[in-house]
Structure formats: structure tokens, C-alpha cells
Structure 1
Amino acid sequence: MVKKIVFTGGGSAGHVTPNLALIDKLKDDWEIAYIGSKEGIERTLVQDRGIKYYAISSGKLRRYFDMKNFKDPFKVLAGVMQSFFTLRKIKPDVIFSKGGFVSVPVVIGGWLNRIPVYIHESDITPGLANRIAVNFAAKLFVTFEEAAANFPKEKVIHTGAPIRDSLLKGDKLKGLQFLGFRNDKPVLLVMGGSLGAKKINEMIREALPKLLTTYQVVHLCGKGNIDTDLDNTAGYRQFEYVNKELPDVLAASSLIVSRAGSNAIFEFLALKKPMILIPLPLRSSRGDQILNAKSFRERGFCEVLDDDTLTADELLSGVQQVYRDRYDYIDRMAAAPNTTNGIDNILNWITKH
């Protein structure tokens, strides 16, 4: 009998791409379904893979006051009921959750159906969704060893990051061809996450004339953030988001400017790409990216800039310094413990059922 698994997680690409990495490994032997939100990015990413998708009601879990906090608990309860009956219909052997607010109703629905639930936490400090979900989970997998201190010891397994195999198979020449770039000039990749990063976008564009004297720049600026005035700028390409071409774009890149989401920076580490990290500031987050970036900087994998005080000149200087010393960063990343076996570690647990 073919085994069944349900995946959940969403709100941003960081809560979806690790699931896609696992899906790629299981799709030939398991029957797969996905439960996510009605309008989240996960719906598009998952349905593009031909995976059966179930949409549920989901309220956002906030750490701050908002009038929506009064009605969103009812959305979560509705999502729990929808998940409960959807899971009873699917009858999966196991549920895997990557977090995000949509995952909480699914995890609770799984627990009510007595289905084993595994969840994964990418950051050093857990998000609110996983703080709730861990109470209903059989095991919790973590990327950073430091994260174990935030959860019940008996539930935590250090697996590392689930790195997509496809990212490790990018083709530099195909990436350059896709971008329309030359092979004799370094490529700077700028990533603000699937939702974009306003400050990074602004500073990159302000520094662009000087950057283009040395680099070709590919800018993943997030949905709705394309600047059409720059469309015909030589040596500069901008996209809201890149999906299937991303492995080739990464292969073509010499260094990266990025936020400090755990999934992304571990992918850069696996690819040994020198990086400048600009974590989300405290006013916009719980501080998880600040801790992620601090951990990487202490290990010599990156340089870190402060979003609150960032200027175009500081960004330009950081890029120049990291590119100048790129081989030192590459050597330290090459000496790091295996960073590409997270998927296998997770699958070893999941496939026990």
C-alpha cells in the first residue's frame, strides 16, 4: 500500500521551499497532499508541482495589538475544523509542517486525528506558530543546534537545513544566458525574500551606478517592487521572484546580498557563496534573523549590515570588501560540517512510519 503524507506551511517562500525539497524526494513513492491558505504564496508554488492542494481558513498569529486579533482566532478555529475533516478524508500516515500561521490548524487537526506530526524550525528562536505546534507534535527538527534550548528536550532532533537538491545542480552558463550577462564580470545577486525588502531595494538602486562599474546585478525585489525606469539598464536585471531558474542564477552569482532567513542562508552556505546579510530589524520581526546572521558572522561565513542605519555607501563598501576577500569566506564555508544532508536526516524519521 502506498503511504500518504500531508505537508503544510506557508505565508512566505521560506515556509514552503523546504517542503518542496522533501516533496521532490518522496513524490515517486508516496501519495502527497498539501494543506495551506487560500491566497498564500504556497498555493502557487505547490500547485505548480501538480500536488493536490487543500485550502483552509487561517488567521495570522500576531505578537502585537491589532483589531484583527479579535476575529482571527475564529479563523484559526475554522481552520482546525476544516483540517480535521480534510485529514480524516485523506487519511495520511504522517504530517510534516514547516511553520507559518497556516500550519497551526493543520497540526492540531492532525493531533485530533491521532496522526503523527513532525515539524521543522529553521531559526535559532522559534516562531509563535511552532511554539504552539510543538505541543501537538511527535518530534521537532531544528536547523541550528542552538534552537534546541527553546523546546522540550525529548522532542528535539537536530537535522540541519533541508536543502533542495536542485539548487546544488545549477548551471552557471545557463544562468548567465538567462540573465543576458557576460562571463567576464562578476555577478552580484540581491535577494530580499519572496515578499521583498524595501530598504535593501532602495539602497541597491541608489548604489547601482557605482555597483555597475564592477558588477552585473540581478535583483530579486519582491512582488510589486519592479522599478520600470530601470528596465533597460545595462548589466542590471530585476525580477519579482525567480523559481525554476534560481539554481542557475545562483550558480552564476559571485556573491549575494540578502536578508538572513535561515533557509536561504544555509542554501548559500551549501553553495559556498560569500554573503552580505541585512537581517530584518527588531521593529519588523522577533529578532530571529538578527540571531541567524550573528551566528553566521561568528563562524566567518558572512558580513552583517544593520537595516536601521544602512546607507548606499555602506552597502557598496560591504560588497567590495566581501568580494575582495571572497576566497577567505569560501575556505571557511568549505571547512564547515556537512550542510547538505538535512533532507536525508528528516526523511530517516518520516519514513519510519
Structure 2
Amino acid sequence: MGNRNIIIASSGTGGHIYPGIALAEEFKNKGYNPIFFISNNTASIKILKNSGFEYIEFNVSGMPGGISFLFITFLVKMKFSFFKALIKIVKLDPLAVIGTGGYIAVPVLFAAKILHKKTFIHEQNAIPGKANILLNKITDKTFISFQSSEKYFKKKNTILSNYPVRKNILSVSKEKILRELKFENGIFTVLVFGGSLGAVKLNEVACETLLKLSFKNRIQVLHITGSGNYIKIQEKIGDNPDYRVFEYMHDIGAAYAASDVVVCRSGAGSVFELKALDKPAVLVPYLYAADNHQYWNAKEIEKDGKVIIIEEKNLAKESLSNAIYALKENIKSNTAESIIKFPRKLVFEEIIKCMKS
């Protein structure tokens, strides 16, 4: 069969890594050997360890603003990562190198280009990151999730491919996961999560709101807090049997399946997963996301009618409870036929086509 290695460069939190994992699963199913190049932060390592895929760590961090000692450190790390990537790419001799986001992609894709490897990037967000705007100038193809982000790239090498949603998210039995959670079927259930690292205000307001709502009508809550908020939220809910708190859930598909309504951030991954599952949601964009891209991600699917956006500055118990009630009232009694919506063009198929050209 020969060498079937494909390198996927990704760093940061789940928003960049999970689409890489979705691609890796498809490549593996087709007989390829995906290998991740990741930054050595805790979130990246934890996600990759759970995925079971091979990975190599790089000492790379996000770019600080302004000229400072931290900026010089950032440049030094990028330089060393570039030379490490050169050595590893020569050794692995991959068929292609794919960047799915984060600054690790910059030294890795530049090294791959120098070594005349096929290079690709995938941009998840409506407003692309600076790293991908730069890399678009040197890579063979750029894959985008939203049509609106095309204007930021060279049109000739840009392909609208949508977002590579992990298949296991689309195939979870609701009844099975409710039994495992010791939840009752038929009781209105809300899922809350704030991303890989959690979100302090979102966690606290959601918890207070849902505890108050549960006094009026029985509801069940599945709350994924992130590492920094777990203890505080657990203390707030006490021994409430209808409120389950988790620090982290690797199988987010199970959490989606259990829920009727979701309250979460609007990273590209969450947005496309909600869209694929046809799941009603209250989206609270992360206020400090680069170029406010989470807000624009949310706006892209707001027109579907199943999403209510609450900006963080407006997030309060009243606004959140009103949004949850509005979505509850609009839930259709039978959505079984429309629940799975696969992208019209899968990224991995386009990459394989480009690799062979």
C-alpha cells in the first residue's frame, strides 16, 4: 500500500481540533494514517488522548498583541516549531498536510510547502483567523464552512465544503443515554456547555435560571461546566436529582441526544453540530473571540428559526428563561425525518481528490 500518512495540524481548544478528528476518522476509514501535530496545551492533549489518534506535541502559543517580551517568545517558539516540523515531515513523508486552525498550522504548513507537499487548510468560522488568511496565500486549497468567509480568501483556490461534523454525534440513541443518566424520557431536558474551557458567566446564569425554572415546571438539566467551574456549579445544585453536572464529556453526541434545547457558545463546531442535528439552541457568543467571529457564526444559522442569540452583555436570568421558553413552545412534535443533515460536500473527499491530482 505504501506510505499513507496524512498530517493534521491543529491547536487551541476543541473548536479547531474536533474538525481535525472528524477528518482523521474519515481518512482512517479509507486506509490512510492520520497523525496530529498539536500545541502542547492541556486542552489539546486531553482531546487527542481521548481520540486515540497519534499526535506529536509542539511548543506553540497564541500570538500576543503588541511588541513585547511575550511577542519575542512567540516568534522564537514559531522558529523552533518550524524546524521541528521540517524534520518530522521529512521522516513521515506525508501525502498531504492539513491545517484546521491555530498558530501551530503556520510553521507546519510553511515547512510542508518548502518540502513540496500537498497543503490544505480548513476554516471553520464565518470570519477567518489571521493564521488561515496568511496560509491561504501558500496552500493548494482552502476549505471554508460558510459562504460568507469566501471574500477573505483568494477565490481560485477556495472551496465551500461546510464543516466536517463527527459522525458519532449523529448516531446516539436518546433513550439509551437518558437511561444512563437516570433521566426520564418525556421530561423537557436542557443541555448547557461553554466549550472546552467553560465560561464563568454563562455557567452561573444558566445554573441560576434553570434551578428557578425547575421550581415552576419539572425539567432535567445536563450541565458541562469545564474544569474551572465544576465545583462551584456542583455546590449550587446540591443533591437535585434532575440536575447532572459534568466537568467534561468527550462524547458530546450523547449530551446532544439527551437534550431538547441547548444553551452554549457559538464556535463553528457547535453551530454546525446543532444544525446537523436540527437542535433548538440559545447561543451566547464569546465576547472576546477574535473579530467577534462567534457572533457572526451564530447569525449565519439564526435564520433557520431554531436559534436565539443572546449577547453576553445581555445575558441574565430573565433573558435566558424567556429564550428557553420560546424554544420550548416552538419544538415540533415530530422531527425524526429531518434530524440528520449531512453537508453537501465532505472535506475529506475533496482533499483526497486534490491529493491525487
For the criterion TM > 0.5, the same-fold answer is yes
Any idea what the Cα deviations from partners look like across 1:169-211, whole Å, max 9, x if unmatched? Answer: 1111221123221113111011211111111101012213223
Please report how far the alpha carbon of residue 257 of structure 1 lies from its aligned counterpart in structure 2 after TM superposition. 0.8
User: Paired residue for 2:173?
Assistant: 171
- Asked if 1:243 is matched to 2:245, the reply is no
* 1:129–1:170 Cα change, 3 Å: same
The match for 1:349 among 350, 353, 357 is 353
Take 1:287 and 1:204, find their aligned partners in 2: how far apart are those partners? 22
User: Is the CA contact (8 Å cut-off) linking 2:96 and 2:355 kept in structure 1?
Assistant: no
User: What SS class does the counterpart of residue 296 from structure 2 fall into?
Assistant: helix
User: What SS class does the counterpart of residue 124 from structure 1 fall into?
Assistant: coil
Take 1:100 and 1:329, find their aligned partners in 2: how far apart are those partners? 40
Take 1:334 and 1:201, find their aligned partners in 2: how far apart are those partners? 30
Take 2:155 and 2:333, find their aligned partners in 1: how far apart are those partners? 36
Q: Which amino acid letter does the alignment assign opposite residue 58 of structure 1?
A: V
Take 1:144 and 1:137, find their aligned partners in 2: how far apart are those partners? 19
Take 1:120 and 1:106, find their aligned partners in 2: how far apart are those partners? 14
* 1:326–1:95 Cα change, 3 Å: same
- Asked if 1:217 is matched to 2:211, the reply is no
Any idea what the Cα deviations from partners look like across 1:309-329, whole Å, max 9, x if unmatched? Answer: 211111011101011112299
User: Paired residue for 2:285?
Assistant: 279
Take 2:229 and 2:355, find their aligned partners in 1: how far apart are those partners? 41
Please report how far the alpha carbon of residue 57 of structure 1 lies from its aligned counterpart in structure 2 after TM superposition. 2.0
Any idea what the Cα deviations from partners look like across 1:268-303, whole Å, max 9, x if unmatched? Answer: 11111111111112x453210111111211342411
Q: C-alpha root-mean-square deviation of aligned residues, in Å?
A: 2.4
User: Paired residue for 1:113?
Assistant: 115
Take 2:58 and 2:348, find their aligned partners in 1: how far apart are those partners? 30
User: 1:146-225 maps to which residues of 2 (within 5 A)?
Assistant: 146-212=148-214, 213-225=217-229
User: Is the CA contact (8 Å cut-off) linking 2:122 and 2:142 kept in structure 1?
Assistant: yes
Please report how far the alpha carbon of residue 239 of structure 1 lies from its aligned counterpart in structure 2 after TM superposition. 1.3
User: Is the CA contact (8 Å cut-off) linking 1:274 and 1:329 kept in structure 2?
Assistant: no
User: Paired residue for 2:262?
Assistant: 256
Any idea what the Cα deviations from partners look like across 1:103-139, whole Å, max 9, x if unmatched? Answer: 2111111112111111100111111221222222111
Please report how far the alpha carbon of residue 26 of structure 1 lies from its aligned counterpart in structure 2 after TM superposition. 1.6
- Asked if 1:4 is matched to 2:9, the reply is no
User: Paired residue for 1:14?
Assistant: 15
* 1:347–1:113 Cα change, 3 Å: closer
Take 1:43 and 1:335, find their aligned partners in 2: how far apart are those partners? 32
* 1:23–1:201 Cα change, 3 Å: same
Take 1:336 and 1:25, find their aligned partners in 2: how far apart are those partners? 18
Take 1:37 and 1:21, find their aligned partners in 2: how far apart are those partners? 18
Take 1:231 and 1:251, find their aligned partners in 2: how far apart are those partners? 25
Take 1:17 and 1:6, find their aligned partners in 2: how far apart are those partners? 15
Which consecutive residues of structure 2, in runs of 5 or more, have no partner in the other structure? none
* 1:350–1:7 Cα change, 3 Å: farther
Q: Which amino acid letter does the alignment assign opposite residue 128 of structure 2?
A: P
Q: Give aligned pairs, total.
A: 350
Take 1:285 and 1:74, find their aligned partners in 2: how far apart are those partners? 23
Q: Identity of paired residues, percent?
A: 25
User: What SS class does the counterpart of residue 125 from structure 1 fall into?
Assistant: coil
Any idea what the Cα deviations from partners look like across 1:234-256, whole Å, max 9, x if unmatched? Answer: 21111122113x22221121111
User: What SS class does the counterpart of residue 5 from structure 1 fall into?
Assistant: strand
User: 1:13-162 maps to which residues of 2 (within 5 A)?
Assistant: 13-28=14-29, 29-63=31-65, 67-162=69-164
User: 1:262-301 maps to which residues of 2 (within 5 A)?
Assistant: 262-281=268-287, 283-301=288-306
User: What SS class does the counterpart of residue 314 from structure 2 fall into?
Assistant: coil
User: What SS class does the counterpart of residue 75 from structure 2 fall into?
Assistant: helix
Take 1:335 and 1:47, find their aligned partners in 2: how far apart are those partners? 30
Take 2:85 and 2:94, find their aligned partners in 1: how far apart are those partners? 12
Take 2:67 and 2:329, find their aligned partners in 1: how far apart are those partners? 45
Take 1:114 and 1:314, find their aligned partners in 2: how far apart are those partners? 53
* 1:319–1:271 Cα change, 3 Å: same
Take 1:66 and 1:325, find their aligned partners in 2: how far apart are those partners? 51
Which consecutive residues of structure 1, in runs of 5 or more, have no partner in the other structure? none
Please report how far the alpha carbon of residue 352 of structure 1 lies from its aligned counterpart in structure 2 after TM superposition. 2.6
Take 2:100 and 2:334, find their aligned partners in 1: how far apart are those partners? 29
User: What SS class does the counterpart of residue 5 from structure 2 fall into?
Assistant: strand
> 343-352 vs 72-81, which deviates more?
343-352
Q: Which amino acid letter does the alignment assign opposite residue 103 of structure 1?
A: A
User: What SS class does the counterpart of residue 312 from structure 2 fall into?
Assistant: coil
User: Is the CA contact (8 Å cut-off) linking 1:163 and 1:342 kept in structure 2?
Assistant: no
Q: Which amino acid letter does the alignment assign opposite residue 44 of structure 1?
A: K
User: Is the CA contact (8 Å cut-off) linking 2:60 and 2:74 kept in structure 1?
Assistant: yes
Any idea what the Cα deviations from partners look like across 1:25-84, whole Å, max 9, x if unmatched? Answer: 122411221111123422232233432221112131245676512321111111111111
